[in-house]
Amino acid sequence: MLLKKIKGVFPPHNKNTQFCKARFLPLPAEVCIPMSMHSGTPAKPVVKMGDEVKVGQLIGEAAGFVSAPIHASVSGVVKSINDRDMITGKKATSITIASDGKQELHEGIKLPKANTLQEFLDAVRDSGSAGLGGAGFPTAAKLTIKDIDKLDYILINGAECEPYVTSDTRTMVGGAEYVHQGVQLLKRFINPKKVVICIEDNKLEAINKMKELFDGDDQVDIFILPSMYPQGERKVLVYNVTGRIVPEGARLHDVGCLVMNCTTITVFARYFKLGIPLVQKVVTVDGTAVRTPKNLIAPIGTPIKELFEFCDGFVGEPKKIIAGGPMMGTSLPSLDVPVVKTTNAILAFLEKDVKMPKVTACIKCGRCIGRCPMSLMPVQIEAAYDMKKLELLELHKVNMCVACGCCAYICPAKRPLVQVMQLSKDLLWTEKAAQKAAAQRATEQKAKEGVAI
Amino acid sequence: MSNFSVSTSPHIYDKSTTSRIMLDVLIALIPALIASILIFGARAALVTAVCVASCIIFEWAFLKIVKKPNAITDFSACITGVLLAFNLPVTIPLWQAVFGSAVAIILVKQLFGGLGKNFANPAITARVVMFLAFSVTMTTWVNPVDGITGATPLALIGRGEVAALPGIWDMFIGMRGGSLGETSNLALLLGGAYLLIRRVISWHVPVAFIAVVFLCTAILGQEPVHQIFGGGLFLGAIFMATDYVTSPTTNKGRFIFGIGCGLFTVLFRLYSSYPEGVSFAILLMNILTPYINKFTMSKPLGGVKS
């Protein structure tokens, strides 16, 4: 049935922390919680300086439909509310809480009640859940779609194809009951024809755990994927598991599918079981500069510096700090940024491992084309970008690039292709916006003249 | 302020580099170089050394004069030198070999912007220029068996002197008249196998090229084995037509490119006044490469026609 095989690359797995159970990080002295850890509108602070807060207390309320509420991850006193640097490189309004060390639960915490889909969605929203695979799209907004009851597949993404990162694996093993619970909730309220748990074949422990938990459940399948990057990219996943192609511009549910990260579903599962919203995160701490790689459970807002310190510091001077995996993660300018909802790993590398390679001339070997999971032609896109030919950029569908980095990874000339793709997208976008504005002005002008006559 | 390096993702890279690929091609050319020395004697090594040295010097000097960064370390000029030498008769006057190197490096490669920017294969184009300019020395062949001047197998076939052809095995291992690096099909195949194993080239161009020549000459009443072993087909199909820069970027395009090379080779060999046509065919297909690229664009997954 599958005519076309999706291509990718095979970076060394380096899943060093695969068997490291997630351990609690000692409580940080203070946490700094940004109000925009999800995509969409930032949350609005509902506490003020000097307020006492407790674990799980709402401190930022969802501002709009595509937004998510934010909760205190420690108990203590609000020390400041100001703009702070985030992992993404942007600044965001952040609430700093000085911990009192007691970790008292907020008295308002109670188990949610849900009997209808709407009540379920409200509870999902209240849990603070957002797409923890990296995009951070608010889960409740994602699930609020027309004809959700006609969904064929919900794919639970446990591919974790990025090297080094093992936090999803640990969630599936250590937090298996919540994955189970999350799937049961999805079955109960959304009831898709199938829930498919997708795991790469290098995570046997997680595969066995899931097989054991869902044994005899006809509605749930475990799908074992070959270990290849970017197996966890949502369109790639949908194609490899269901054989369905998501057309350009369409959304996954247009082909009857939905992809949810395996850790995301544990967030609302936990909320249903304990009443505690998303206040902590399993984070893989690894990389060649880290002395003792570990998986840590850190309160959201913990400065990443403390995670490295708990892993016995560095073996040498780190040259590059990455939030996320080495293929798509963001490199950080400092250690003073906090862990956010979407942080699944922080990596530190020694200089010798992250030397910027020398960029040489493109020799048109076509390897970037051979490895692009979206079957784009990065070599042609780069040429089109150099000439600033917008119609060529459109022809070559640069807008469909998922920024997975396979082209730049495989390029023998080490061309900065991901950067070029992004610049091309921006160029197209600004140009289109300018054209639209010009057209708008023209119609307004016409209307004015019409009135004058 | 900390001193962390900040860059776009990805933060890790595959080990392969341009110079590693070029080095692989050079390694793949070693069997043919050894064969050429065994077959034609030490002058084969001399001609190759002169071509390689002059290619490197021309590239270095050109980049120096136009104040561009030095790119000698990518080995691409070495490959051009070796391939050009392989396309010359062993008796070529050395000054002509130097001239050919200048054409390849300066006219065909650097004037178009250097590595990756040239539209035609430098060694092929230089050979064609030399063929037209020095038509006597470029068609004087030594028969390695008796050491006297003789014709290439293809020229013999052209004249109808089939009885004078060397045996198939001799043709395969290279004991016959011809350019110094083209005669040993065995050595070229070894190099090709290495390139395939190292994934430097894909099978599409060589297989399509050789198969088309074999089939078409068979259909047109020629002895196809003589046609594929008797000329420069293996050198052209494995090492020259697979040049990344001047051949299509997709496998589909490469297959079409190989077929085109094969058809033009057969056309030139059988219907022109020249016995050989591989280099003309490749040069012609080099020119068509941008169009092949255009018509073999890969279809994006789920892409909608705009």
Chain A interface includes B298 (CB < 8 A): yes
Of B2, B71, B300, the CB nearest to A375: B300
Chain mean position to CA A183: 19
Mean pLDDT of A404-417: 95
Smallest CA–CA distance, residue B28 to chain A, in Å, is: 17
Mean pLDDT of B90-108: 96
Chain B interface includes A363 (CB < 8 A): yes
Residues B166-224 pLDDT 10s:
888 989 999 888 999 999 999 999 999 999 999 999 999 999 999 999 999 999 988 89
Residue A353 counted as domain residue: no
Residue B304 counted as domain residue: no
The three-state secondary structure class of A122 is helix
Residues A117 and A261 in one domain: yes
Task: Find out whether B236 and B227 touch, Cβ atoms under 8 Å.
Answer: no
Chain B interface includes A396 (CB < 8 A): yes
Residues A131 and A270 in one domain: yes
pTM here? Answer: 0.90
Residue A37: name the closest of A162, A109, A150, A128 by CA.
A128
- Is A249 exposed, middle or buried (CB count within 10 Å of its CB: 0-12, 13-18, 19+)? exposed
DSSP code for A229 = B
DSSP code for A357 = P
Residues A372 and A267 in one domain: no
The three-state secondary structure class of A271 is helix
Residues A251 and A373 in one domain: no
Residue B241: name the closest of B225, B260, B228, B224 by CA.
B260
Residues A404 and A255 in one domain: no
Burial readout A8-30 (b: 16 or more C-beta within 10 A, e: otherwise):
bbebebbbbbbebebeebebbeb
Residue B306 counted as domain residue: no
Residues A266 and A385 in one domain: no
CA distance A377 to B299: 9
- State which residues form the domain around A209: 109-274
CA distance A189 to A33: 31
CA separation, residue A93 to residues A23, A44, A59, A98, A414 (Å): 29, 9, 12, 16, 37
pLDDT at B165: 86
ipTM score of complex: 0.89
Chain B interface includes A445 (CB < 8 A): no
Please identify, among A217, A245, A274, the residue that sits at the C-terminal boundary of a domain. Answer: A274
State whether A319 and B4 contact (CB < 8 Å): yes
Chain A interface includes B148 (CB < 8 A): no
Residue B305 counted as domain residue: no
Is residue A6 pLDDT above 90, yes or no? no
Write a three-state SS string for B256-278: HHHHHHHHHHHHHHHHCCCCCCH
Interface of A with B in 65-124 (CB under 8 A): none
State whether B116 and A410 contact (CB < 8 Å): no
Residue B3 counted as domain residue: no
CA distance A196 to A267: 18
Residues A332-363 pLDDT 10s:
988 999 999 999 999 999 999 988 888 999 99
pLDDT at A3: 62
- State which residues form the domain around B82: 18-295
Residues A129-170 pLDDT 10s:
999 988 889 999 999 888 887 899 999 999 999 999 999 999
Chain A interface includes B69 (CB < 8 A): no
Smallest CA–CA distance, residue A200 to chain B, in Å, is: 20
CA angle A429, A431, A432 (to 5 degrees): 65
Residue B12 counted as domain residue: no
- The domain total for chain A is 2
Span between the terminal Cα atoms of chain B, in Å: 48
Residue B275 counted as domain residue: yes
Q: Among B3, B9, B119, B306, which would you mutate to test the A interface (most chain A Cβ atoms within 10 Å of its Cβ)?
A: B9
List of chain A residues whose C-beta atoms are within 8 Å of the C-beta of residue B250:
366, 369, 377
The three-state secondary structure class of A313 is coil
Percentage above 90 pLDDT, chain A: 78
Residues A77-118 pLDDT 10s:
999 999 988 887 788 999 999 999 989 999 988 899 889 999
Is residue B278 pLDDT above 90, yes or no? yes
Residues A117 and A264 in one domain: yes
Interface of B with A in 78-117 (CB under 8 A): 114-117
Please identify, among A223, A243, A274, the residue that sits at the C-terminal boundary of a domain. Answer: A274
Smallest CA–CA distance, residue B134 to chain A, in Å, is: 31
The CATH number covering residue B203 comes to 1.10.3430
CA angle A261, A263, A264 (to 5 degrees): 65
Residues A197-235 pLDDT 10s:
999 999 999 999 999 999 988 999 999 999 999 999 999
The band of A452, judged by pLDDT with boundaries at 50, 70 and 90, is low
- The domain total for chain B is 1
CA distance A149 to A406: 36
pLDDT at A1: 42
Task: Find out whether A45 and A63 touch, Cβ atoms under 8 Å.
Answer: no
Chain mean position to CA A114: 27
Residue B150 counted as domain residue: yes
Residue A42 counted as domain residue: no
